[in-house]
Structure 1
Amino acid sequence: MLIRAFVPAHITAFFVPKFNEEPLLAGSLGAGINLSKGTNVFVSLEEGLEKHIHIAFNGEPVKKENAIISYSVANEIVPENFIGEVEIWQYFDFPNGHGFGNSAGGALGTALSLAFAFKEKTFLQAAQIAHKHEVIHKGGLGDVIAQIHGGIEIRIKPGAPGIGIVDNIFFEGYKVLAVPMGRLSTREVLDSDFIRLIKKEGEKALNALLSNPKVDVLMKEARGFAERTGLLSGELLEIAKEIDKALHLPSSMIMLGKSLFALLKENEVEKVKFLLDDLSIDEYHICDVYTQRPSVERWVGDGK
């Protein structure tokens, strides 16, 4: 049996971390965007003599300590009485550690695929398990619940899927530019003293967006948050200012990664491509906004 799940990449525009000793109550407030590119997870089950769980990233096997979140998810969902091989392949459209929710995408895709295979957990229960292990191992706070809802989302109550509350901004005619430029450790930022300023500026941005929930307000507040917290600075800020010259809305930094994003109108796509070429930036993605929930199904290949 081969199961496939797709989980959209998720960009966080700004956030307010909400810590709690109970992982299902921890999470974040804020806003972000789900992308038409993301994480594809394939799960294969083969009965055997012993239980083994194997995980690979982009075709390469990974040690347990390097995929602890997905291994923890799998160990919780695979029934104790299952004997055999569980192989989990995770394929990422974006590089790890750059702010695209890969950790949550892998965890959620694994949870949904295994729940579909064994039929012992609901969609929501599987998502809660993914969220729990994301929080415990500090992979992130709000990506899973955002990915469950899709679209351009506002997280207005923290917590796991089924506990937190997410709303969506109406929009039309926009594509998303994503420019991955470097890694930034979510764990290090969440563990730093810096978090107090992030909370203050995140609440300010969230209140402004809730009072006027439009995409132009989202991007204005995202940029203000990124600059006022000092997360967007130096060369990354200079590149953002250059990108702004081709757009009617400001670009901003992806939280948390040394990456940039922007919302584009159709007539801005070619202009921004030319500008990025002029800046010698080769790696970038132009995606649609993904407005559905993650998909999971039995997989029989492209010829189905």
Structure 2
Amino acid sequence: MSIESSVGKAFAPGHITGFFEIHDDPDPRRKGSTGCGVVIDGGIAAIVTPGEEKTEISLDGVSVNADTTRSLIEQIVDLPVHVECTSSIPIGCGFGASAAGALSTAYALNDAFSLGLTSNQLVEAVHIAEVSNGSGMGDVEAQYFGGVPIRKVPGCPPYGVLDRVPSPSFEVHCIVLGELSTGSVLNDGGFMREINSAGRSALRSLLSRPTIANFMELSKQFTLKCGLASDRVIDAIEAVGAAGGMASQAMLGETVFACSDGSVKEDVLEALSTFAEVTTYNVTSCYQHPG
């Protein structure tokens, strides 16, 4: 395939973090976070074609700077490209959109220009772009791993170590109540001390009992301990609990995510809908109940 006719397409899923701990390191490949979250079937799709004079990136038809994606592009190609992204997740609300945009672009670039890079090499490039721009610390690895990933050791492959909470496929119901800047939180020393202490404790507790119910409970405890939740977020979490479901705040975003068993699903949806429009995503893993 000639460069002039090259087209690459790829999709990367969103990731909702329930709790985390930041780990700093002078090596960006080892820098990152530990914690746990869920990978959803909504995300960002990218179409890559050769550019003209300079690299151009659009999101849902609007030109954007997309610093993380731009940094990723500069790492793996040395020519201008045109990147057209479309999103099925909210931006800037705790769904790992910056990582999903860069990861889908990386795979699309590899496809379009036959770069011959492996998945681990692509994930490494996106991870470096993420931590260098302060837009995220562990979403990339989680999105690559899928399911309900537990980030046990920070960093990209081969340094990072991940496991999963075993679970059949289930639904996650989300409401977005506003935006929360990842950078503003990660740069606040007071917040980070609280976050790291709470995140470390939550990870230990999850590894001793790796279930979805425990993950949701630990995520809620983490949210309340860290003081990042607005009154409205707390009200929504409590309303879901009163309806028989489990809810917490997406990290980092003014977003509430909830799950429930079938018997109380409608009650949970009704509780969430009093705060904002509800969007439901699927979380899929290889584990399934027999039968």
- TM-score, length basis structure 1: 0.87
Shift, 1:179, TM fit: 1.3
Q: Say yes or no: does 1:61 pair with 2:55.
A: no
Deviation per residue, 1:182-209 (Å, 9 max, x gap): 1111111111021011110101100000
Residues 1:246 and 1:2: Cα distance change in structure 2 (over 3 Å):
farther
Q: 1:273 aligns with which of 234, 258, 269?
A: 269
AA paired with 1:286?
Answer: T
Residues 1:243 and 1:88: Cα distance change in structure 2 (over 3 Å):
same
Q: Say yes or no: does 1:87 pair with 2:86.
A: no
Mark the runs of 5 or more structure 1 residues left unpaired by the alignment. Answer: 293-304
1:3 is matched with which residue?
A: 8
- Aligned to 1:288, the other structure's residue is in SS state strand
Q: Say yes or no: does 1:17 pair with 2:22.
A: yes
**Does structure 2 conserve the Cα–Cα contact (< 8 Å) formed by 1:31 and 1:206?**
yes
Q: Hey, what's the Cα distance between the residues in 2 that align with 1:20 and 1:267?
A: 46
AA paired with 2:183?
Answer: R
Shift, 1:51, TM fit: 4.5
Deviation per residue, 1:55-81 (Å, 9 max, x gap): 00111112xxx3111111112222x3x
**Does structure 2 conserve the Cα–Cα contact (< 8 Å) formed by 1:148 and 1:161?**
no
Q: Hey, what's the Cα distance between the residues in 2 that align with 1:51 and 1:162?
A: 36
Residues 1:88 and 1:77: Cα distance change in structure 2 (over 3 Å):
same
Q: Hey, what's the Cα distance between the residues in 1 that align with 2:69 and 2:225?
A: 34
Q: Say yes or no: does 1:131 pair with 2:136.
A: no
2:37 is matched with which residue?
A: 32
1:172 is matched with which residue?
A: 168
AA paired with 2:158?
Answer: G
Compare 261-270 and 35-44 and name the one that shifted more: 261-270
Q: Say yes or no: does 1:260 pair with 2:260.
A: no
Compare 91-100 and 199-208 and name the one that shifted more: 91-100
Shift, 1:162, TM fit: 2.7
1:155 is matched with which residue?
A: 151
Mark the runs of 5 or more structure 2 residues left unpaired by the alignment. Answer: 1-5, 287-291
Q: Hey, what's the Cα distance between the residues in 2 that align with 1:238 and 1:271?
A: 15
1:231 is matched with which residue?
A: 228
Deviation per residue, 1:160-199 (Å, 9 max, x gap): 1332011011112521111111111111111102101111
Q: Hey, what's the Cα distance between the residues in 2 that align with 1:59 and 1:233?
A: 32
**Does structure 2 conserve the Cα–Cα contact (< 8 Å) formed by 1:205 and 1:221?**
yes
**Does structure 2 conserve the Cα–Cα contact (< 8 Å) formed by 1:182 and 1:259?**
yes
Q: 2:216 aligns with which of 215, 219, 224?
A: 219
**Does structure 2 conserve the Cα–Cα contact (< 8 Å) formed by 1:175 and 1:266?**
no
Q: Hey, what's the Cα distance between the residues in 2 that align with 1:76 and 1:157?
A: 24
- TM-score, length basis structure 2: 0.91
1:297 is matched with which residue?
A: none
Residues 1:4 and 1:223: Cα distance change in structure 2 (over 3 Å):
same
1:106 is matched with which residue?
A: 101
**Does structure 1 conserve the Cα–Cα contact (< 8 Å) formed by 2:236 and 2:272?**
no
Residues 1:57 and 1:94: Cα distance change in structure 2 (over 3 Å):
same
Q: Which runs of 4+ in 1 moved over 4 A?
A: none
Shift, 1:270, TM fit: 2.3
Shift, 1:268, TM fit: 3.1
Percent identity over the alignment? 33
1:96 is matched with which residue?
A: 91
Shift, 1:280, TM fit: 5.0
Shift, 1:231, TM fit: 1.4
Shift, 1:276, TM fit: 3.1
**Does structure 2 conserve the Cα–Cα contact (< 8 Å) formed by 1:144 and 1:161?**
no
- Aligned to 2:149, the other structure's residue is in SS state strand
Q: Hey, what's the Cα distance between the residues in 2 that align with 1:108 and 1:269?
A: 33
**Does structure 1 conserve the Cα–Cα contact (< 8 Å) formed by 2:9 and 2:111?**
no
Shift, 1:128, TM fit: 0.6
**Does structure 1 conserve the Cα–Cα contact (< 8 Å) formed by 2:39 and 2:143?**
yes
Q: What's the C-alpha RMSD, in Å, of the aligned pairs?
A: 1.6
Q: Hey, what's the Cα distance between the residues in 2 that align with 1:290 and 1:171?
A: 8
